[in-house]
Amino acid sequence: MGLSLVAAVWLIGVCLVQQWPELPEQPLLVAAVLVTLGFGVMCLRAARIRLLGACLISLSLALTWSTALALWRLADALPDHEDDKVTRVKVLVADLPAQSDNGVRFTGVLEDAQAHGLPQRAMIFWPQACTGDCAAAIEPGQRWRMALRFRQPHGRMNFAGFDTEGWLFQQGIRASASVRGTPKWLGHASAWQPSMAIERLRSHIRKRLQRLLGDQRERNVLVALAIGDQQGVSQEDWQIFNLTGITHLVSISGSHVTLIAALGAWVVSSMYRRLRWRGRLLMERWPQRLVFVWAAGVLAFLYCLLAGWGVPAQRTFFMLAAGAIGLSARVPLTGYQAVFLAGVAMTLLDPWAVLSTGFWLSFGAMMLLVMLAQQLGVLSGRPRTRARAAYEAFVAGAKLQWIMTLAITPVTVYLFQQLSVAGLLANAWAIPWITFVATPLALLTAGLCLLPIADAWLVHLAWLAHAALWFSLEPVRWLAQFEWLSFEVHAIGVWELALGVAGVVCAMCLPPWRTRWLAWLLLLPSVSTTPTRPDVGHWSMTAFDVGQGSAILIQTRTQNLLFDTGWRYDQRDAVQAVILPELKALGVKHLDRVVISHPDMDHVGGLDRLLATRSVGQLIGSGLNRPDAQACGASQQWSVDGVRFSFIHPSDQCGEQVLAGLERNRCSCVLLVSGQWHRALLTGDIDQTVEAQLVGEIEQAIDVVLVAHHGSKTSSSQPWIDRLQAKHAVIQAGAYNRYGHPDESVVARWQAAASTVWQSQKDGAVSFESSAAGLQVVSARAKRKRYWHRHPARRPDIE
């Protein structure tokens, strides 16, 4: 109990540091740590509070260690004077390249970083690197001389969804860069580096598996299953895996590492049992079980390196290491202690591991498995025959996996806003097939890829592994087609998650008693709560951070309106990347109206995917030329829940000929939202000519205005700004966009008019809540601010 508690306090300290919006000043931190450490040492001298002292010391050490590493990583940053500038450097390809957006993306180590004042690692994008399979031409360990345009890490920031800057910081990547000109190849790294050797092995396995399998359906999933390289798995596949809850089966998990380690250790221990030294069996000197445990640990470590050193793999290795050390030192460790010590070891090496959802899913699942395994007798030491023990282990493992599928329900709701009945059926089918058939075949094929075996012989085994994986996943894809087997729920808070987890633990782990089933009622808040909505006459507005594009959600008491759908590039669009996760988090399943201001691709790009994934009551827009769309016009208006919506532009002069030409920005739909207390104006891409026409249409001051054309200098004339008298001006534009939006003079004019200017590339998404208490404003960067974020976040305010 004491060791587990001390380790848990360490993890709490590490988590606290990663939640800080800013790192504390060093003198203040040193003083707080010294006081806590001193009090902890004093408590150690008293027997009754010795455990408290150990916990305080653990907490102070965790805070100090995590903060020191954070300061060290923050210091390895791209200076402001190098931002968006081109520098010629030598680059070492440090990981498996991934094909992305007509180019190749990889992590590069800058060999002469210190001489140029650059960070050690950067995420490098090489556009048009080659034709065909670009990622196959660039390999880990290659050295290049490149002209790179460096930029500070930046990602879209919304109220839900992925924190790109946090992920880059966790990986130690402190800059992004794009290749300019033609790089010069300098050969492979001369000095032998273990990390490069491992990455080359992974690259060799990936290329050979891809060559053996050709264009087979499950090729990229098989590669992910074998070496942990998930870059080639399609977004559609990930959606199916998340929907059916089998993501843990199609990536390198603890079960994969345990399987490899157990099989290898069994072979080693079987051989060891027959070895002799000076006439005596070696097992008489060193116990066979000790050799088995250490062999399992070494093999697990080697396989974890080959599999990419992911969080679940690390957790399994450190648990095996803890068990081996405890057995060697004759210090018995409980399952809980092994799990907590593995967590401490991981966070010692990488305190940012706690930012990964995989960390909590892996350790949470392992804690529950240990708890249930002890109750089922899997870990008990009662005597059994080998056959009986194997049978009981198989049955217990199946039961544990099935129970885990049920137990992760509140976590799935918290992370993915998804509750899937299909997940129960999918896991029941996929767990035995993938764990005991597809995975061993995939790992065997990957291992043989390293040997000089002709493809003509190895292709048969690769085909068999692919067939096993296809047989495992095809029923899962079939189940995912039934929409009624899954449904979305809105984002829940930490308290709902805690209640759900407590309900699962109590229902499964308490001693049998008649009313134990009541514990399941604790799951109800996580699946049945409804999101808050504005009152009658009130409205809320969320300007999403979609990059270089526009998308705004207006909500009233009962209805939802989406104004524009953002961009589309090739197969990617803003709806999939940003809008759908935000709608899921808000619990928005139906859009009563979708308004497309005009048919530019940065405003209409995500419309097709939106219509395919959300039900839409009415589609309104300018220049859509769709049979299911209604044209917007200055005479249209309607009222919903005490809020009036009215188009004040375009006029009848906007015809098809105008919309097909370069002047179609002037025919953007301009929507005025008038609630009981506040007014908002959404302007599309109108220019100063249209603004001059609409000045007379504005009868009252505007509280929130969407600055036209992303802050272009062709809009936001001084008479328009003076007439609106807007308290808040929102500019939606992407960081480092090629158009130079927003123009500095435009921002200055709005600020001179006493308007608070919110820019998506600096503030992220911005939310406005109109009510009798005032207009409450909060930005995503203020709400989700962490010490690694680049831009200073403004505090929320109420006017």
Ranking 28-37, 327-336, 368-377 by mean pLDDT, the lowest is 368-377
pLDDT reported for residue 425: 81
C-alpha of 210 from chain center: 27
In three-state secondary structure terms, 361 is: helix
Give 703-730 as a 3 state SS string: CEEECHHHHCCCCCCHHHHHHHCCCEEE
In three-state secondary structure terms, 643 is: strand
Going by pLDDT thresholds of 50, 70 and 90, the confidence category of residue 706 is: very high
What does R_g of the chain's alpha carbons equal in angstroms?
Answer: 29
Q: Looking at the chain, how many residues does it have?
A: 799
Ranking 200-209, 251-260, 477-486, 656-665 by mean pLDDT, the lowest is 656-665
> What does DSSP assign to residue 175?
-
> Would you say 786 and 694 are in contact if contact means Cβ atoms under 8 Å apart?
no
pLDDT reported for residue 510: 62
Q: Calculate the average pLDDT of the chain.
A: 85
Average pLDDT over residues 648-676: 79
- Packing angle between helix 311-328 and helix 335-349, nearest 10 degrees? 120
pLDDT reported for residue 551: 97
Residue at 612: amino acid letter: A
Contacts of 731 (CB under 8 A, 6+ apart): 707, 710, 711, 741, 742, 747, 757, 758, 759, 760
d(CA 25, CA 34): 14
User: Where do we find the tokens 């495992």?
Assistant: 472
pLDDT tens per residue, range 633-652: 888 999 999 999 999 988 87
Average pLDDT over residues 557-581: 93
Give 518-567 as a 3 state SS string: HHHHHHHHHHHCCCCCCCCCCEEEEECCCCCCCCEEEECCCCEEEECCCC
Residue 84: phi, psi to the nearest 5? 65, 35
Going by pLDDT thresholds of 50, 70 and 90, the confidence category of residue 335 is: confident
> Would you say 741 and 710 are in contact if contact means Cβ atoms under 8 Å apart?
yes
> Would you say 609 and 574 are in contact if contact means Cβ atoms under 8 Å apart?
no
d(CA 775, CA 453): 70
Average pLDDT over residues 142-157: 93
C-alpha of 232 from chain center: 17
Whether the pLDDT of residue 591 is over 90: the answer is yes
Average pLDDT over residues 155-170: 92
Looking at 615-666, list the stretches that DSSP marks H as alpha helix, in order from N- to C-terminal side. Answer: 656-659
Looking at 644-743, list the stretches that DSSP marks H as alpha helix, in order from N- to C-terminal side. Answer: 656-659, 688-694, 718-724
Going by pLDDT thresholds of 50, 70 and 90, the confidence category of residue 107 is: very high
Q: Cβ atoms within 10 A of the Cβ of 236, count? A: 11
Q: Cβ atoms within 10 A of the Cβ of 180, count? A: 14
Contacts of 85 (CB under 8 A, 6+ apart): 149, 150
Ramachandran region, residue 132 (left: φ > 0; alpha: ψ -120 to 50; beta: rest): left
pLDDT reported for residue 690: 92
Whether the pLDDT of residue 69 is over 80: the answer is yes
pLDDT reported for residue 394: 66
d(CA 697, CA 674): 14
Average pLDDT over residues 256-275: 80
Average pLDDT over residues 792-798: 54
Average pLDDT over residues 195-214: 90
Ranking 347-351, 388-392, 467-471, 752-756 by mean pLDDT, the lowest is 388-392
> What does DSSP assign to residue 792?
P
Ranking 399-413, 520-534, 777-791 by mean pLDDT, the lowest is 399-413
Q: Where are the beta strands (DSSP E) in 316-463?
A: 418-420
Contacts of 206 (CB under 8 A, 6+ apart): 96, 223, 227, 229
d(CA 292, CA 272): 9
Pick the most confident of 29-33, 404-408, 735-739.
735-739
Residue at 100: amino acid letter: S
- % of residues, the chain, pLDDT over 90: 44
Average pLDDT over residues 436-460: 90
Residue 605: phi, psi to the nearest 5? -60, -35
pLDDT tens per residue, range 279-318: 677 676 777 778 888 888 888 888 888 888 877 778 788 8
Average pLDDT over residues 662-684: 91
Ramachandran region, residue 414 (left: φ > 0; alpha: ψ -120 to 50; beta: rest): alpha
Nearest to 214 by CA among 453, 461, 426, 463: 463
Tokens of 598: 């005009």
Going by pLDDT thresholds of 50, 70 and 90, the confidence category of residue 378 is: very low
Alpha-carbon distances of 457 from 221, 453, 525, rounded to whole Å? 22, 7, 56
pLDDT reported for residue 12: 92
CA angle 503, 506, 512 (to 5 degrees): 135
CB-based burial of residue 456 (10 Å sphere; 0-12 exposed, 13-18 middle, 19+ buried)? exposed
In three-state secondary structure terms, 629 is: strand
Contacts 24+ apart (CB under 8 A), 24-31: 24/67, 26/71, 29/63, 29/64, 29/67
Going by pLDDT thresholds of 50, 70 and 90, the confidence category of residue 213 is: very high
Tokens of 627: 């049979």
User: Where do we find the tokens 């093999």?
Assistant: 299
Nearest to 170 by CA among 358, 344, 11: 358
Whether the pLDDT of residue 160 is over 70: the answer is yes
Nearest to 730 by CA among 747, 718, 717: 747
pLDDT reported for residue 799: 54
> Would you say 336 and 379 are in contact if contact means Cβ atoms under 8 Å apart?
no
Greater confidence, 258 or 648?
648
pLDDT tens per residue, range 709-766: 999 999 999 999 999 999 999 999 999 998 999 999 999 999 999 999 999 999 999 9
> Would you say 143 and 187 are in contact if contact means Cβ atoms under 8 Å apart?
yes
Pick the most confident of 325-334, 693-702, 756-765.
756-765
pLDDT tens per residue, range 490-518: 888 777 888 887 887 777 666 665 666 67
> What does DSSP assign to residue 579?
I
pLDDT reported for residue 379: 45
Alpha-carbon distances of 202 from 89, 229, 301, 305, rounded to whole Å? 26, 9, 15, 9
Going by pLDDT thresholds of 50, 70 and 90, the confidence category of residue 611 is: very high
d(CA 97, CA 89): 19
- Packing angle between helix 357-376 and helix 386-407, nearest 10 degrees? 130
Kind and range of the H or E element at 308? none
Looking at 80-188, list the stretches that DSSP marks H as alpha helix, in order from N- to C-terminal side. Answer: 113-116, 134-137, 164-170
Going by pLDDT thresholds of 50, 70 and 90, the confidence category of residue 399 is: low
d(CA 257, CA 304): 7
Average pLDDT over residues 164-169: 93
Going by pLDDT thresholds of 50, 70 and 90, the confidence category of residue 485 is: confident
Contacts of 330 (CB under 8 A, 6+ apart): none
